[in-house]
A and B are shown apart, each in its own frame.
Chain A
Amino acid sequence: MAGMALNSDTPQTKTTSSLINDPRVRGIFYQILTVVLLVLFVWTVAQNTIHNLQRANIASGFDFLKGRAGFDIGQSMIAYSSDSTYGRALVVGILNTLQVAIIGIITASIIGFIVGIARLSNNWLIAKLAQIYVEVFRNIPPLLVIFFWYKGVLTILPQARDSLVLPLGSFLNNRGLFVPKPIWGDGTWMMLVALLVGIVATVIIARWAKQRQMRTGQPFHTVWTGLALIIGLPAVTFIALGSPITFDFPIAGRFNLSGGSVLGPEFMSLYLALSFYTAAFIAEIVRAGIRSVAKGQTEAANALGLRSTEITRLIVLPQALRIIIPPLTSQYLNLTKNSSLAVAVGFADVVAIGGTMLNQTGQAVEIVALWLVIYLTISVSTAVLMNWFNSRMALVER
């Protein structure tokens, strides 16, 4: 702006010196220079890589993904054997990463919210315990937390032959947690339908209840009705169908328990460590969010005669969430990225499996590129989802 004003003041048209002195022209020049240098840098790196790969006679490209993997993976959510392709092995890794990230995010959020609220408790002991929790977990590197769970807690569990017997036919030993595996009989799909119907009905009822409350001021027990629908409908279907689900119980085999589902100590330690570690940060975010709601809001709500649960639900939380959600997104991204520490305890996440592939095929550049793309995709998707949630929660300005 200043430059334009200067130009309009001076009557003579652009000379070289005025061009150099024009901040707008200079700005454009430096921007072009930066872009050119950046392109040049990237191009040089790419050329250098290609050149060196050719020099070392290393085949490049992504054809190797179609080859037979030849190695086995301990934890897989989809059918996988050593005859599967490298591509499928990578998918197994992605699913394992997503599994630990999603379950971890849910658990970390629950623990984080509880601890965050506990830190604001009027009860001295609860507040102090929450504070100690936060200070301990927040100040230890996540890798050590993983080792703590893996070496300190899970591998000192009893051997397979002396498994701890847990309720509901479950067992716990140093090979993991063995739980009965449900076997879906005929008509199980109807229960899924019932569950979906329950969820849809709850959403519709919640909308109707909100509108009615807006109109008439009459409240409605949405939560209880919803719970009854979501749990009740599938339960009724289950009984009506004559209990179609049976369970495969773990039994003692020669080396270990066989049958049932097993959550290995590698998964458990990673999951617990990430959850507990990230929960400490989430707790602080939650506390900050709640503290940011002015005290007058609570007092005003009190004066209006709202109950304390209503004050939290209707006054404090909606305002606190606006503060909480953006930093929460960062924590979710951190948790997902920290899951790559799985390699330390031998959990088959996308980094561990990619590392094996890298070694068997030697396609280092391709696999590192795949890693980057995979994590970028997961992170951007999480961020987009959280931004959408944030915009829904944001203050509606009129």
Chain B
Amino acid sequence: MKKTVLSAALGAAVLGLASAASAATLDDVKAKGFVTCGVSAGIPGFSNPDDKGEWTGLDVDYCRGIAAAVFGDAKKAKFVPLSSKDRFPALQSGEVDVLTRNTTWTISRDTSLGFNFRTVNYYDGQGFIVKKSLNVKSAMELSGAAVCVQTGTTTELNLADYFKANNLQYNPVVFEKEADATTAYDSGRCDVYTTDQSGLYAIRLKMKNPDENMVLPEVISKEPLGPAVRQGDDKWFDVVSWVHYAMVNAEEFDITSKNVDEKKASGGPDIKRMLGAEDGGKIGTDLGLTNEWAYNIVKMVGNYGEVFDRNVGPGSPLKIERGLNALWSKGGLQYAPPIR
């Protein structure tokens, strides 16, 4: 009798589980009324709370873009700061809907970790920052140096590969939090700090004496940074990808947050199609959103160029050049499939 009770209970548990596990993030997001994004805990230019406690940055704006596309309200985004170690379990477990947290797209993250990447919102590469007083001009002179690095990153692996390939010795000092690693570098525990170059420029600003530090010329890796979602949820993956493409297309068409209303009324057919002003258009609804989705993104967040300038480019303290992140038509790599 005990056995039958047990097996009946187990059967009930299995049924309960099977119904609980669904993979429609878009529906879940719509149902709860906001999108939850995993962001980094504080990298100026990418995701960083400002003096009023508002999150700002390129990754943060990507998330706001998703909120604008889904809800028509860029404020319906919640940010969960994650360490590099916590970010993947947080996405796997469903704690966040999307990871917009300067995460490098690699094959192992795409496959064995069970994520999907498609868009790259920042093309980066790993570099080194050193104290000027050391008189180091190239990374090849770094043999014997102590290198501060954040744990669980591609940075840590690239570092090992680069020093090994060039037969250089080094002493890794590994921290879980970026802030601890940079503080250790700043206080002289390490000779070198290494992370993606964008991060180096951002962190340099936070140091006691920014001018005493210099970024070495070598870029030792490709770091395509972009949002990640869970595998097996194509609908949500499409939404997240096309938010970026809409921003890039908007920049191509010179649609900005300021002139978007004007363009919507008087633009060419492709602009009208994109902004949802085409009669009988169903691009937005096919995506599972409203036809105003792209209009909302540009209106509330801006096109890719605006977002870049505001957060990391000339309009920010970082003043990073567009470089690889310029539009394909201007010598960069940012290219978006057409919206039609």
Contact = CB atoms under 8 A, between A and B. Distances in A.
| A and B interact physically | yes
Interface of A: 32, 36, 39-40, 43-44, 47-48, 51-52, 55-59, 70-74, 81-83, 155-156, 159, 174-175, 253-256, 258, 264-266, 343-346, 348, 352, 355-356, 358-362, 364
Contacts of B2: 32, 36
Contacts of B174: 73-74, 346, 348, 352, 356
A191 B10 CA distance: 64
Interface stretch (B164-172, B205-213, B270-278, B315-323): B164-172
Given A40-B6, A58-B92, A362-B114, A255 B144 contact: yes
Interface string B81-93: 0001100110011
Given A348-B174, A362-B88, 10 more contacts: A44-B17, A56-B114, A70-B157, A74-B174, A82-B164, A83-B164, A156-B187, A159-B188, A175-B189, A255-B144
A55 B21 contact: yes
B95 to A, nearest CB: 12
Given A155-B189, A356-B174, A47 B14 contact: yes
B176 interface: yes
B221 interface: no
Contacts of B232: 55-57
Contacts of B157: 70-71, 82, 360
B151 A356 contact: yes
A329 B21 CA distance: 45
A82 B146 CA distance: 16
Contacts of A59: 112
B77 interface: no
28 contacts: A40-B6, A40-B9, A44-B17, A47-B13, A47-B17, A56-B230, A57-B232, A58-B113, A72-B159, A72-B163, A73-B174, A81-B164, A253-B144, A254-B144, A255-B134, A256-B171, A264-B173, A265-B189, A266-B173, A346-B180, A352-B174, A355-B176, A358-B85, A359-B84, A359-B152, A361-B112, A362-B88, A362-B112
Contacts of B23: 55
Contacts of B188: 155, 159, 174
A71 B194 CA distance: 14
B70 to A, nearest CB: 22
Interface residues of B, number: 54
B273 to A, nearest CB: 35
A52 B21 contact: yes
Nearest to B112: A59
Report, nearest first, the 8 A-B pairs whose CB atoms are least far apart.
A359-B152, A82-B160, A362-B113, A56-B114, A57-B114, A346-B175, A72-B172, A70-B157
A364 B89 contact: yes
Contacts of A32: 2
Given A55-B21, A155-B189, A352-B151, A362 B92 contact: yes
A50 to B, nearest CB: 10
A175 B146 contact: yes
B254 to A, nearest CB: 41
A42 to B, nearest CB: 11
Contact of B160 (A48, A57, A71, A343): A71
Contacts of B124: none
Contacts of A352: 151, 174, 176
Contacts of A58: 92, 112-114
Given A32-B2, A359-B151, A361-B112, A56 B13 contact: no
B184 interface: yes
B152 A360 contact: yes
